[in-house]
Structure 1
Amino acid sequence: MKTATPATARAINDRLALDLLIEHGPLTAPRLRELTGLSRPTIADLVDRLTAAGLVEFVGEAEQIRRGPNARLYRLISERAHVVGVDLRRTGFTAAVADLSGQTVGTAARRFDTADTADGADSPDGTDADAADGEPDLVAMLTDAIREAADGRVPHIVVIGAPGLVRPYSGEPAGRNEVPGWRPDLPRELERVLGVKVLLENEVNLAAVAEHRLGAAVGRADFVLLWLDEGIGGAVVLDGRLRRGSSGGAGELGWLEVDGVGFCDRIGPEVRETIAPEELAEQIAKGAFAVVSVLDPGLLVLGGSAGRAAGEPLATLVEERLAAKSPIETEVRASTVEGDAVLRGAVLTGLDLVRDEVFGG
């Protein structure tokens, strides 16, 4: 076993303190000692070090009868870096900008319109747009919305959640999707125009990140997210890690066949509007049976707009029908992520990367 060097120990302590400032807000040195278990001199050095690095600043004194150095409050300088999350759908997209604390500081939304064409439009760098006739210039629209949401702030990274497969190692889209104006080089072209790193991820994978950190799967190492929205999809988390598969297709439950019919056709939006909850639960259970039998995740989360809207009543019906089909015990819950799960997962993913960069991994 290797012994941690003093530099490594300092880096670990610094990151621990910064994470606590994110979680709790401004803290005094005694409170930091209490939360970390570190000694008074270690905390004093840590605070001086983080202040000198421009990560922490003094913001006043705690409300207490006895004043003094120990009452000084320190906060994370959350404006040090910003991230952008984008939920890109077939109907439009929403962009959100968050600071290092995770606080949203700006948003912008756009909806696709058949009038958005390349004719007569300029690209963000002043050249003529080259999108196909009748298609919006997606790079220009994204750039405009991101700059509007950022309001002069320079983001460190943009994380986009979009339908379709994304290759795990290259981050490149694998195949076509139905987003208007889509182009295979979208991440790289947006990087060129904005001058910041752009990460593309499957939108349901990002929703699973949010579910794991903020929703029904908090505290669970294993779960499967079934996405019931404009399309049918899924995501897999095992041993606390999102699993993408070798080509980015892990969790794509919509491709399953149920009684000779595609699962996406069995429980798609049009079908969900016409069948009773009991029948919908039966169809979901038939498809979920396959993934439960193979992965034994212990938890199935019903996400997307339809999963959330149906709530626990549908989750209970699915759990009952799944139990009748499989001896593998599986809890079924409705998503509890507040707001846009894809957008929140995109921001969380960006924050993980930027905090490692700014705080030190």
Structure 2
Amino acid sequence: MAVRGTPSWLGDQNAAMALRLLLDHGPLSRNGLGELSGLSKPTAAQMVARLVEKGLIEAVGETSAGRGPSATLYDVRNDLAYGVAVNVDQEGVRSTLVDLRGTPFPVAERSASGLGGRRSAARDVAGAVLGACESAEVPLADVRQVCVGVPSSVDPRSDELSSVQAMPGWSRKSIRHQLEEALGCAVRVDNDVNLAAVAERGTGAIGAEATFALLWVGYGIGLAVDVAGTVLRGASGGAGEIGNLPVPRGVLGPDVAAVDLEDLLGAAALDRIGRDTGASPHTFEDVLGGAPLPDAVLDVFAPRLAQGVIPVLGVVDPELVVFGGPVGRAGGERLAARTRAAIRDHTRWDPRVETTGVTGDAVLHGARSVLHERLRADVTRRAGAAVSEEDRSRIIRTNLRGIN
């Protein structure tokens, strides 16, 4: 590593800046890099030469600027590093490849029943990584990082999951260590609702400095709080585990026997409401199949959901509350409006309440976003470091293929 402040160090910093510009803007000529960076043409040429030497960029074409010779266009090699985003939940395992450009790759899926009886964290995730690579036709050896979303909090201090109820065969202890040993690459394990909040922020509909709360309503209930782009995870990773909060007595009437918010708002509770209102005995299953929540169910469910939102308003006071998860989606704006009305009826708060703006699998979207940033950071670090033996060997192999 070059000594800070020396010409060699400055050259590394310029090379890292040039790589970021190429990642942000796509193919550029030496002159284009010079204009965007504010550096001279000779310096821009040096940046390009340094990145080519390290095998991080390649010539991808030419551009004509009118009179004079055409200029060579350079771009970041998209095969430098890949990641795999994984979402594990009660329904099964879904995964997709991630690259430096954010290319949309196919999603590989295996249902919970299709995973068989001999499940474990290593088997589930390794199978998901392999499926993503096969779907994208990318070698397994090219995967450098994996991000896994799970329906559990993850303690960063002890590397333990708080619950594996939704993941049969999984061990709670040393989860990241287990997966890294099995996969041979860097692994990040995160709570599914936290990753869904990352995806929500990525829609661009939320102000950069805004605080929002994502209430995930599905098999159970979960919460993620994002403050100006940072998801609050807590000392033990348990921030947002509101399913264990006790239900306030007397607020919803004596006939509500739920002990905590999980009892009050989970899948079993939704089915009970469906039976009691005559809407459907399998309301949650209907929701998973894409059906909207019936009005009769919304009338009962919205005041209950308000009891889950009120503690969040009292502690965090976010600018926006977003409903996600299968039940949040199925309720849509009708559920948002009725919940907001129930909050206004019982408290001084009048929050903005909206339905998620993320389409598709929000957890997988969030994991993709996390990996995309990590892959970019990894490649940028390599731009400012000496050429490794691994990179040197790869450059030689690439050049030999070109000669042959």
Q: TM-score range by the shorter chain?
A: 0.7 to 0.9
Work out which of the residue numbers 335, 340, 350 in structure 2 matches 1:314: 335
User: Percent same amino acid among aligned pairs?
Assistant: 36
Q: Structure 1 residues 284, 36: CA separation in 2 closer, same or farther (over 3 Å shift)?
A: farther
Tell me the CA shift for residue 225 of structure 1: 0.9
Alignment of 1:30-179 (within 5 A): 30-62=31-63, 65-66=66-67, 68-69=69-70, 71-105=71-105, 107-113=107-113, 116-118=116-118, 136-151=119-134, 152-154=139-141, 155-179=143-167
Match of 1:292 in 2: 313
Tell me the CA shift for residue 117 of structure 1: 2.9
Q: Does 1:269 align with 2:267?
A: yes
Q: State the AA in 2 paired with 1:241.
A: T
Match of 2:289 in 1: none
Q: Structure 1 residues 220, 316: CA separation in 2 closer, same or farther (over 3 Å shift)?
A: farther
Match of 2:401 in 1: none
Q: Does 1:359 align with 2:359?
A: no
Alignment of 1:199-210 (within 5 A): 199-210=188-199
Q: Does 1:25 align with 2:26?
A: yes
Tell me the CA shift for residue 149 of structure 1: 1.8
Runs of 4+ in 1 over 6 A off after TM superposition: none
What secondary structure does 1:27 align onto? coil
Work out which of the residue numbers 242, 253, 257 in structure 1 matches 2:242: 253
Q: Structure 1 residues 164, 28: CA separation in 2 closer, same or farther (over 3 Å shift)?
A: same
Instruction: Determine the C-alpha separation between the residues in 2 that align with 1:214 and 1:162.
Output: 22
Match of 2:252 in 1: none
Tell me the CA shift for residue 349 of structure 1: 1.9
**Residues 306-351 of structure 1: CA deviation (Å, up to 9, x unaligned):** 2234333433333344345444553222111232111121222223
Tell me the CA shift for residue 301 of structure 1: 1.3
Match of 1:236 in 2: 225
Q: Structure 1 residues 11, 315: CA separation in 2 closer, same or farther (over 3 Å shift)?
A: farther
Computing the radius of gyration from Cα coordinates, the structure with the larger value is: 2
Match of 2:287 in 1: none
**Residues 138-165 of structure 1: CA deviation (Å, up to 9, x unaligned):** 5224323312322423211111111112
What secondary structure does 1:251 align onto? coil
Give the count of matched residue pairs. 340
Instruction: Determine the C-alpha separation between the residues in 2 that align with 1:12 and 1:209.
Output: 29
| Greater share of residues in helix | 2
What secondary structure does 1:140 align onto? helix
What secondary structure does 2:358 align onto? coil
Segments of 5+ residues of structure 2 without an aligned counterpart are 250-257, 275-295, 385-404
Task: Note the aligned Cα RMSD (angstroms).
Answer: 2.9
Is 283-292 or 16-25 further displaced after alignment? 16-25
Is 290-299 or 331-340 further displaced after alignment? 331-340
Match of 1:122 in 2: none
